[in-house]
Amino acid sequence: MAQRKSGSTTLKQVAERAGVSMAAVSAVLNSKKSSIRISPATAELIQQAAKDLHYVPNGLARSLRTNRTNNIGLVFENFGGITEGQFYVELLDGVAQELFKNKYRLTILPEVDRVQPINSLGNGLLDGVIWCKLPQSPDVIDILQRCPIPFVALHARPTEAHEAAAYISADNYGGAKLAVQHLHELGHKRLLFILETAEVDVPDAQARLAGFLDACAELNIEVQDQDIRIWSHDLHETNTYFHSQPEHTAIITWNERTAGVLLEHAQSLNIQVPRDLSVISFDSTSFSEKTSPRLTCIYQPIREMATAAVRTLLAQINGETITQDFEYPTRLDLRDSTTEPPKNRDWSSILNAEKSS
Amino acid sequence: MAQRKSGSTTLKQVAERAGVSMAAVSAVLNSKKSSIRISPATAELIQQAAKDLHYVPNGLARSLRTNRTNNIGLVFENFGGITEGQFYVELLDGVAQELFKNKYRLTILPEVDRVQPINSLGNGLLDGVIWCKLPQSPDVIDILQRCPIPFVALHARPTEAHEAAAYISADNYGGAKLAVQHLHELGHKRLLFILETAEVDVPDAQARLAGFLDACAELNIEVQDQDIRIWSHDLHETNTYFHSQPEHTAIITWNERTAGVLLEHAQSLNIQVPRDLSVISFDSTSFSEKTSPRLTCIYQPIREMATAAVRTLLAQINGETITQDFEYPTRLDLRDSTTEPPKNRDWSSILNAEKSS
DNA sequence: GTGAAAGCGCTAACAC
DNA sequence: GTGTTAGCGCTTTCAC
């Protein structure tokens, strides 16, 4: 056994020292509208005793009694894998700040056990849960319906278990459309749409893909099979791609990191963005100001969404049953990585120049 | 009052349904070497009853009883302000992964109340604490000595309250020296050392500054007052600096974000890095591969340090009283942002070219 | 106004 | 081997 927090003083000891009852101590220290009233003199006495003894209330016991923990859980599936980039920093920070402001603590949950999900969610430790990028699989719907505590899905879209949770999402469908429209207005006719292997199943991906396809259909942009790709970005996909001398004049990427990798590769191959190739990404955090060229992006308000998720959750915890969904609008953040399509792009001379250099 | 997790089944109900005692249920479900032994038949019966009732143990009650929460706290002072960049992502992810592997949960703590710090640390909710960038102020030392739970300081150096905690740090002193040596070997004689306003008081900053000064002294590099600056990077410090036509031929920055901002500004002013100016930064995460030019860095093993912090803490929690400190070596990661000092740098022509463009 | 006592759900020591 | 019971530390109802 380790040296434990066993030595700590209890409420009982404070009561004894002050010569009053436990109830009196509890009432004074919680300073709530209690049924009992304490004279200022004894209140002062109690305060002093508590101070003398360095009394600190045990949160476990209090929570057990009150059924309140002031602690909410945040689920990141794949936390370890995809935390690269500004997206998760802003999301996490947004959630944390809003929580702290309201005197709540934040617990990060590892992947929720799909077999015994309730073990993490229903064990009394959490007042509520925010689940990022909630997948739409049947087992998750099952979890939702059996979840005994308030639940908010962030960056996810309503499922069949719609009434069991509130959903906070960005208009990814509309965002993808904006991207296509922007490229269409610039004159692009052949687009590449890239998804990320690790996140191909998240709700945002499906929405963006749908938006891409619909916008292309509306604007008479032809879409072939090879115009939609799923990359892991750890193989030589990019090199292979460029050396296949593709017809695409513009690429829509999954996120800024993905775009960053692409920009790097392009640069090393002597491909100039946006002159030879336009690139547009999702998210639009401070990262997109740091790439060269700066990234044109579809913006989604990551931080606001995080704040909204917390507010919705806390409202639910406080008994408001409105499980209103929110879909945040996206917009185009124009920077320097998109322009008109190249007139006479000659892949071989571009790639040859690279070899000779 | 909200709809609460009150409806959940208790161990008692399971016992009743299985027709056995509570003790039997507890023993079976915890499957520990208990003093009591259960026949396989009744064990099966109990398992079934628990399953039928969707029983999930209440963690609050269990922790209250066992004095164990399987939850550790992570303190980020300034969490909101300085979370930009890869440093915190790697740190956080490193801590989280190692914790999850050991069946611990992670709670993020907002700024610890300096007046009543024990309220967050001694309230029974946490088995231990990791405090990032622990400052060396007297009140913090006081907190340390009164902290009732195991404590590890990450990215911090031993204070007077040395025996009260374990310290995990990188050799920032040596790292700063490496940076100066590298620049010295390239021929630089006038160096600028930049610190960050928000973090000028963290232990790493002091160590780096000391390393910088000592290395310069050893290598006969002159250091004047204006060669050490504290920037907030939200003003026009950089512009003012460059337009003052400084003599420095190389800059050592606080972190990659800082360096990134600097690179951007330089580029917009037509200053070419590293031809006109060498830049070297601390940290060396994946970010430094994405800048243009790629950043030469002093590497510190952020993730390993996070892992070590968790391991040390868990060891302490399990009763090992060794509060061994670790100082991780740093190294130079050579990339493209440093080279020999410019021979005849003409600020006016560089900055004029910018105006005309 | 104040104090005694019940009990949140669980575990572990101790009788059977 | 199995069941009974005493609390962990707190809040809150109910008599005084």
Token look-up 């309503």 returns A158
For residue B108, is it within any domain? yes
The integer distance in angstroms from the CA atom of B321 to the C1' atom of D3 is 39
Q: What is the pLDDT of residues A51-98, one digit of tens each?
A: 998 898 999 999 999 999 999 999 887 655 555 667 888 888 899 989
CA distance A236 to chain B (A): 17
Strand partners, B215: none
Question: Packing angle between helix A40-52 and helix A11-18, nearest 10 degrees?
Answer: 120
For residue A188, is it within any domain? yes
CB contact under 8 A, B124 and A319: no
Does any strand C atom come closer than 7 Å to the Cβ of B33? no
Does any strand D atom come closer than 7 Å to the Cβ of A62? yes
The Cα-based distances of A294 to A105, A285, B85, B165, B259 in angstroms read 37, 11, 17, 45, 16
Could you give the strand order of the β-sheet that contains A250-252, starting from the edge strand earlier in sequence?
A228-231, A191-196, A250-252, A278-283, A296-299, A331-333
DSSP B299-323: E--HHHHHHHHHHHHHHHHTT----
Same domain, B232 and B317: no
Same domain, B206 and B241: yes
CA distance A200 to chain B (A): 22
The Cα-based distances of A314 to A66, A151, A272, B340, B347 in angstroms read 17, 10, 49, 57, 57
> Which of the nucleotides in strand C have any atom less than 7 Å away from a protein CB atom?
1-5, 7-14
Percent of chain A topping pLDDT 90: 50
Q: Residue B298 in contact with residue B331, Cβ under 8 Å?
A: yes
The pLDDT of A238-242, averaged and rounded, is 91
pLDDT at residue A1, rounded to an integer: 30
For residue B1, is it within any domain? no
Report which secondary-structure segment, H or E, holds B119: helix B118-121
Q: What is the pLDDT of residues B50-99, one digit of tens each?
A: 998 889 899 999 999 989 999 999 988 765 555 566 788 888 889 998 99
Comparing A108 with A36, the larger pLDDT belongs to: A108
For residue B4, is it within any domain? no
Same domain, B104 and B134: yes
The integer distance in angstroms from the CA atom of A320 to the C1' atom of C8 is 25
Burial of A289 (0-12, 13-18, 19+ CB in 10 A): middle
> Which domain does A43 fall in, by range?
11-57
Please state, as a whole number, how many other Cβ atoms lie within 10 Å of the Cβ of residue A66: 10
Q: How far apart are CA B109 and CA B120, in angstroms?
A: 8
Q: What is the pLDDT of residues B5-28, one digit of tens each?
A: 456 889 988 988 888 888 888 888
Q: Is A250 helix (H, G, I), strand (E, B) or coil?
A: strand
CB contact under 8 A, B89 and A89: yes
Please state, as a whole number, how many other Cβ atoms lie within 10 Å of the Cβ of residue A6: 9
What is the β-pairing status of strands A296-299 and A326-328?
unpaired
- What residues contact B13, with CB distance under 8 A and at least 6 apart? B53, B55
CA distance A109 to chain B (A): 7
For residue B192, is it within any domain? yes
Nearest-nucleotide field for A10 (CA, C1'): D9
Same domain, A46 and A103: no
Q: Residue A167 in contact with residue A156, Cβ under 8 Å?
A: yes
**Facing B60 at nearest CB: one of A96, A108, A125:** A125
The integer distance in angstroms from the CA atom of A114 to the C1' atom of D2 is 35
CB contact under 8 A, B267 and A292: yes
**Facing A318 at nearest CB: one of B2, B93, B148:** B2
Same domain, A347 and A295: yes
Report which secondary-structure segment, H or E, holds B184: helix B172-186
Residue nearest to nucleotide C9 (CA to C1'): B61
Q: Measure CA of the first residue to CA of the last residue in chain A; give whole Å.
A: 66
For residue B36, is it within any domain? yes
Alpha-carbon B214 to chain mean position: 26
pLDDT at residue B257, rounded to an integer: 83
pLDDT at residue B164, rounded to an integer: 76
Q: What is the pLDDT of residues A116-134, one digit of tens each?
A: 655 678 889 999 999 999 8
Does any strand D atom come closer than 7 Å to the Cβ of B24? yes
Same domain, B237 and B348: yes
What is the β-pairing status of strands A296-299 and A331-333?
antiparallel
Please state, as a whole number, how many other Cβ atoms lie within 10 Å of the Cβ of residue A233: 18
Please list every residue in chain A whose beta carbon sits closer than 8 Å to the beta carbon of residue B69: 60
**Facing A60 at nearest CB: one of B6, B60, B286:** B60
The integer distance in angstroms from the CA atom of A31 to the C1' atom of C8 is 22
Q: Residue B205 in contact with residue B173, Cβ under 8 Å?
A: no
For residue A1, is it within any domain? no
Nearest-nucleotide field for A21 (CA, C1'): C3
Token couple for A203: 């709700």
Does any strand C atom come closer than 7 Å to the Cβ of B69? no
CATH code, A32: 1.10.260
Q: Measure CA of the first residue to CA of the last residue in chain B; give whole Å.
A: 66
CB contact under 8 A, B148 and A7: yes
Nearest-nucleotide field for B10 (CA, C1'): C9
Same domain, A141 and A80: yes
pLDDT band at B354 (very low <50, low <70, confident <90, very high): low
Token couple for A330: 């996206």
pLDDT at residue B118, rounded to an integer: 54
Q: Give the count of domains, chain B.
A: 3
